[in-house]
Structure formats: structure tokens, C-alpha cells
Amino acid sequence: MKIVPAGDKFVCQLGKREKNLLFDLLKLYPCIPAARPGATKAAALPETSQRLLEEALAEQRTTNRLQIQKWLADPHRFEETETSWRFSLSGPEIEWLLQILNDVRVGSWLSLGSPDEKLELSLLNAKTAPHFWTMQLAGEFEMRLLKALEA
């Protein structure tokens, strides 16, 4: 994926297979379980705050899921060229995509059993491979978006 700043937007160019991969990743959202252990630390936290945070997160996930469906179905968003797809993203849309992709990345990592820093290839087997590659791919797209924002 190539991302080039163009005024206050970013023009993205995706290969056809890359577009399919990105779409597949976005369709996986949300990957982090709603009741992620330790997502809100109960110690010394008022019950109302904890409930509020959980509700806000649940609401956010519903909004994001609907937004993804809309985003993927928008016929005017993606323009097909001979060899690729082009589309533009605003700064807030990049932030939103980063949030979606990192949910998919962290959720896949949790599915792998939250392994430590060195994600050993020995973890790979038929059961873990989909989570492993999903995590890697989501991270790859994240890094491209971050580099574009820094450029």
C-alpha cells in the first residue's frame, strides 16, 4: 500500500490482493473480546466509572462495526485503475483505521494466548496460523498508515 499526502488528505494506492486483504481484516472487527480481562481495573475504581467505560466501549464497537460496513460498501470510495485501487483518506479516517486495525491485531494476539515480545514461529500450527498472520497483516497496514502520518 502506498500512501501519498495530497493537501489535507492522503491518497492510498492498493494492489488488488492488498485491497482484498484489507477488506478481510476490517470485516474481522471487533476481535478483542468485550470482557477483556483487566480492561478496566476494578481496584479502587468506582462501580459507576467501570460501568460507564464498559458501556462507552461497547457503544464504540457497535458504531465502528456499522461504519466499517458502510465504508466497505461505498461504491464511490474506491476507484479501480488497471492494476490497483485508489482511495483517499482524511486524517481522522486514518486514526479510525488505526483503531480498527489495532483491535484486530490485539484480538489476534489474545487468541494466540498473549505471547511475549518474541512471537516465536514455533507457535505456528494449523490452529494458530490464521491468528498469527492476521496479527502480522494488521500490523503491516498500521505501520504504513503511521509512516504516512509522519511524512
Residues in contact with other proteins by the rule CB under 8 A: 32, 38-41, 43-46, 49, 52-53, 56-57, 60, 95, 98-99, 102-103, 105-106, 109, 114-117, 135, 139, 142-143, 146, 149
The distance of closest approach from Cβ of residue 75 to other proteins in the complex, given in angstroms and rounded to an integer, is 28
Q: How far is CA 140 from CA 52, 59, 63, 107, in A?
A: 33, 27, 24, 15
Q: Which is nearer to other proteins, 9 or 61 (CB)?
A: 61
Q: Could you report how far apart the first and last alpha carbons of the chain are, in Å?
A: 15
Q: Which of 91, 64, 74 is nearest to 7 (CA)?
A: 91
**Closest by alpha carbon to 72, among 91, 95, 100?**
100
| Minimal distance, residue 125 CB to other proteins, in Å | 19
Instruction: Choose between 20 and 49: whose C-beta lies nearer to other proteins.
Output: 49
Smallest gap from residue 139 Cβ to other proteins (A): 7
Which is nearer to other proteins, 85 or 145 (by Cβ)? 145
User: Which residue, 40 or 90, is less far from other proteins as judged by CB?
Assistant: 40
Minimum CB–partner distance for residue 81 and other proteins (Å): 30
- Residue 102 CB, shortest distance to other proteins, in Å, is 4
Nearest CA to 68 among 112, 99, 107? 99
| Cβ neighbours, 10 Å, residue 8 | 7
d(CA 137, CA 105): 8
